[in-house]
Amino acid sequence: MSDRVNVTVDGIAVEVEPGTTILQACEEAGVEIPRFCYHERLSVAGNCRMCLVEVEKAPKPVASCAMPVAPDMVVNTQSDSVKSAREGVMEFLLINHPLDCPICDQGGECDLQDQALGYGVDSSRFEDNKRAVEEKEMGPLVKTVMTRCIHCTRCVRFATEVAGVPEIGAIGRGEDMEITTYLEASLESEMSGNVIDLCPVGALTSKPYAFTARPWELRKTETIDVMDAVGSNIRVDVRGREVMRILPRDNEAVNEEWLSDKSRFVWDGLNTQRLDRPYLRVDDKLQATDWPSAFDAIAARLEAGSGQVAALAGDLVCTEGQFALKSLMEKLGSPHLDCRQDGAKLSGPRANYLFNTGIAGIEDADALLLIGTNPRLEAAVLNARVRKRWLAGNFPIAAIGQPTDLTYDAEFIGAGPQTLAELVEGKHGFADVLSKAERPMLILGQGALARSDGAGVFAQALALADKTGMISEGWNGFNVLHTAAGRVGGMDVGFLPGEGGRDRNGIIEGCKSGDISTVILYGADEIDRDELGGAFVIYIGSHGDRGAHGADVILPAAAYTEKQAIFVNTEGRAQMSERAAFPPGDAREDWKIFRALSDHLGATLEFDTVDALRTVMFELAPHLARLDELVPAGVPEKPVADVTELDAAAFAPALTDYYFTNPIARASATMAACAEAKRERAKAIGGTGTDG
């Protein structure tokens, strides 16, 4: 016997789950219901009344978003009374809305515009003065035109429920009601830009994008974000060769429909401080040159060098580029390469360095331990998923590291490895919580792994996972959270020290001692040039950032929006980015640079096309060919490390400044404005309140 409910919508019979709203039942029947306040990922407000429908035996139209279905309910969405009710609601909502559609940045993408076409009237019966509302200051990202606001409260509910920063609310009543920030300051959230997508009337729009382009001018490309290791699905809008904006795409398994502020607004950094031609250092000054001359200088150096060559890969590089460079290093006979530019102690099988639960799997967990990580800064969208699970209830969370606001209640039980050791030994109460949970999980961050004792910390975390039953049939709660988009792909293709090879720290030591004479920095911008001693530095990247400043040869490469490439996110999901624009000037795709360089060095690689490269790469790592799939990685294994020699120091945060974590972000004026706004807000909050 089925427990589903029978409902008839406009003569169409459908079966739905108990508790389904009338609006959702209508959508099941293929009937679209207009709405402003309702959003499937937010709580029900029922305050716009645009979704009115007629229900048999009901005395008046009902709000379909807030009313659950009943057995044998008959719903009519096309009656004269429904049409009249919706037209009345629309007329009411447009009483104060300014007649500024030609200058609204939501023009062409406006829910209000769409609904007004269907339910608007040609004139208004309202003859009094229209209301005008002062604009609000919400920081450098969100532009406000609050006279347009219809008080749907989507932004309020998002800030409170999803972002976890209840800073947007309503003041006043009736005609005097306004949506504003409580402190009249920028939103203290890494997810604030999502209110722009949620606003249905153009009251909240993108401040950096304002008045720069129209939707119909833009060429739209669906691709993948690389600002963190979540692998959020995005759409890049381009006019000519210039990126104009970045928007999120729906992917229930990864980012749902949200996007972090850095991923959304970093686009202006793609258009500035770009490397568009090769450079060669002559008399201690970088001078523009051509590709053959740059390759000649590299060949001459490798022939004359007394030491060995080494390679380091950065955070934003693609999997194909790392595989091509690894292949070149093998041709050159060097085992010295590493994709862990922060020095993270990760090795072993895939399960050792993946977020094994999966991002969507967070919603199935029933206890969580955070170790040396601040997911709010390191993976804001993933953190929103943790908050979503916490809001569902019965989800105890503990953290080891520096106390901070994670947007949900977490008990900070310690600061360093000593607390982790106590959990392993069962001396701390949260060990019992994990043991009693059916699906416990931990998240091990780079702040715990990028230490000299990182391997020991990893071993302790794995021992805790084994002891508390985190790894069982059908459940793997041992998770590593990466901060670098290119890290997992690099480890998958083996961009790690070979036999007798040096890791990141070993390469730096070799540069200082003279054993390493040449270093290839492939997008590795977080390496201090002074650490490389007198080594000859070859930089391949897209921006003139830290890596380029200290280089002897610069080879310009494509940014992530300018190439079709595979990126593997923290959970091991391989995704394909698409080219939205072409690289500027003489810049080239990464793998093409390494292929051309190999030919010039007499160590020609065996592939001439990206398809041929991927064929060889897929032989090494077959799971990379299974795009947008989570391929089971097995069980993590204990590394070879002395777990007794652990540093007592507290886990340091992996990110010190959310807005300046990579060369593209550091080139962005918007990110600089966000950082400044954050400093000003901290200064204001830290004041006495009497100092003006």
Q: Which stretch of 65-74, 91-100, 192-201 has the lowest confidence by average pLDDT?
A: 91-100
Q: For the chain, give the mean pLDDT.
A: 91
Cβ-count burial 630-644 (b if 16+ within 10 Å, e if not):
beebeebeebebebe
Q: What does the pLDDT look like over 202-236, one tens digit per residue? A: 899 999 999 899 888 999 999 999 999 999 999 99
Task: Tell me which of 162-171, 260-269, 404-413, 613-622 is least confident.
Answer: 162-171
Residue pLDDT, tens place only, 417-473: 999 999 999 888 899 999 999 999 999 999 999 999 999 999 999 999 999 999 998
Residue 518 has pLDDT above 70, yes or no: yes
One DSSP character per residue, 318-361 reads: -HHHHHHHHHHHHHTT---EES-TT-----SSGGGSSBTT-TGG
| Residues 650-672: tens digit of each pLDDT | 999 999 889 999 999 999 999 99
Q: What is the pLDDT of residue 183?
A: 67
Tokens at 673, concatenated: 């404005």
Specify the pLDDT at position 258: 96
Name the pLDDT band for 690 (thresholds 50, 70, 90). very low
Q: Which residues pair with 400 in a beta bridge?
A: 371, 414
The per-residue pLDDT for range 267-287, each reduced to its tens digit, is 999 999 999 999 999 998 999
Strands of the sheet with 516-522, listed across from one edge: 285-288, 279-282, 553-556, 536-541, 516-522, 308-313, 337-338
pLDDT at 185 over 80: no
Residue 665, token pair as written in the block? 């972000």
Q: Please report, rounded to a whole number, the percentage of residues in the chain having pLDDT higher than 70.
A: 97
pLDDT tens for residues 579-601? 999 999 999 999 999 999 999 99
What tens digit of pLDDT does each residue of 473-513 get? 889 999 999 999 999 999 999 999 999 999 999 999 999 99
Cα–Cα distance measured from residue 644 to residue 431, given in angstroms and rounded to the nearest whole number = 20
Q: Which amino acid would we find at residue 114?
A: D
pLDDT digits (tens, 9 = 90+) for 16-60: 999 899 999 999 999 999 999 999 999 999 888 999 999 998 999
Considering only CA atoms, which of 162, 123, 79 is closest in space to residue 382?
162
- Average pLDDT on 369-394 reads 96
pLDDT per position as a tens digit, 553-574: 999 999 999 999 999 999 999 9
